[in-house]
Amino acid sequence: MPATILVGAQWGDEGKGKATDLLADEMDYVVRYQGGNNAGHTVLAGDQLLKLHLVPSGILYPHIVSVIGDGVVVDPAVLLEEMDELESRGIDVSSLLISGNAHLVMPYHLELDRVTERHLGRQQLGTTKRGIGPAYADKAARIGLRVQDLVDEKIFRQKLDVVLKEKNLVLSKVYNRLPLEGETIVERYMDHGRRLAPHIADTSAVLSRALREGKRVLLEGAQGTMLDLDHGTYPFVTSSNPVAGGALTGSGLGPREVDRVIGVTKAYVTRVGAGPFPSEERGEIGETLVRRGNEFGTTTGRRRRCGWFDAVLLRYAARINGFTELFLTKLDVLSGFSPIKVCVAYQVDGERVEDVPFHQSAFHRAQPVYEEAEGWREEIDGCTSFGDLPPAARSYVDRISDLGGVPVRSVSIGPSRAQTLSAP
């Protein structure tokens, strides 16, 4: 049975949580493959809203095994806090699996994320300050500590000894911060290790076996295509690979084990943090999108930057990820806008370009070329079928399929499950 990958087509916050939630019924495993607690999704646990950052949302379904894959960076304190919170609401977390290869976010990563951002001054990236970049940097430099080290105190100490000497020098001599105390870190992390031990596994082997047995696996990306370390708007990106290729390295599955790649895209565009955003609306329109779409980050509470739908980005994301279908979210937010603009190309130095410019300076200068679509006045959040939507809303969805070259299969018109329409 082949696996399905779910990827954000924009700068994150596309509503992947809702798409995962809808797919959960037909899945046996839900896997996070990259990122860490920089991500966030709001889920309904019992009758209360709960914010999850590390635990895959599949945890809410007793029939699903939730997996934190090899490509994730794990802050064990945050993970345990989420597990405790879930248990206190009566949700069983005993089946959660964590790859032993996943890297650990360490206290010095958090500290370094804060001080290096400050050091960058006006060049700040606007990170979530969760230690994500420094943790991936250590992974690439081969000085990272991994989840499996939590259950081997001797190895943990050896690795920490070496790395902490260097980190403390950097913290104290470069950034004028107090050095961190090794023994405190060992005690705390060994304590986390004792609690997490029953969940640590060879998750790549588990998933591969599951697929052979005909089980259904969903690989769930955090962030989005334009925040990808290799294919996003570098350096204004996260430090991992949310794109479909990252789902393979981040879970330990091969390319022939996937046959469906779902791109999740909002009906407009948002981004948090710094970096280029050609169709951004800074005035009244942006404000209305923030208000109607409640565009504030789940992790940091920051107001999201908002703008019109960008088909250039969608075509790019479709190419990089090989989308087989689209899940369009928050169409209801666009009710009342007239006309609705769609960015179909960019103008760069007087020339029209149809693709994302490969040079970052050109992308920074890109101006949107808009096509205008007819708007609709009525609220659509109560529609129960695609045919119920006003003709202008249906045309808008069709236009997105045409411009992206990928069919929109589902349209979300509100937060609840029922507010999801299948497109013909």
Site residues for ligand IMP per CB under 6 A: 11-13, 38-40, 125-128, 130, 132-133, 222-223, 227, 236, 238-239, 272-273
Smallest gap, in angstroms, from Cβ of residue 15 to ligand IMP?
11
Smallest gap, in angstroms, from Cβ of residue 256 to ligand IMP?
29
Q: Helices marked H in 226-330 — which ranges?
A: 244-249, 284-293, 311-321
| Catalytic, out of 41, 109, 192, 231 | 41
Distance of CA 182 to the CA centre of its chain: 32
Q: Helices marked H in 10-59 — which ranges?
A: 16-23
| Short-list 200, 90, 202, CA closest to 147 | 200
Query: Cα separation of 85 and 67, whole Å?
Result: 18
Q: Is 13 a catalytic residue?
A: yes
Query: Cα separation of 87 and 94, whole Å?
Result: 9
Q: Is 28 a catalytic residue?
A: no
Closest to ligand IMP by CB, 41 vs 146, is 41
Q: Which residues contact 279 (CB under 8 A, 6 or more apart)?
A: 269, 307, 308, 309, 310, 341, 343, 368
Q: Which residue is nearest to ligand IMP (CB)?
A: 273
Around 81, how many Cα atoms within 13 Å sit in the side-chain half-sphere? Answer: 11
Closest to ligand IMP by CB, 103 vs 394, is 103
Smallest gap, in angstroms, from Cβ of residue 49 to ligand IMP?
17
Smallest gap, in angstroms, from Cβ of residue 64 to ligand IMP?
21
**Amino acid at site 265:** T
Closest to ligand IMP by CB, 133 vs 368, is 133
Closest to ligand IMP by CB, 204 vs 299, is 299
Closest to ligand IMP by CB, 132 vs 403, is 132
Smallest gap, in angstroms, from Cβ of residue 125 to ligand IMP?
5
**Which tokens go with 298?**
């789940």
Pairing state between β 103-104 and 73-74: parallel
Pairing state between β 351-353 and 340-348: antiparallel
Q: Please list the active-site residues.
A: 13, 41
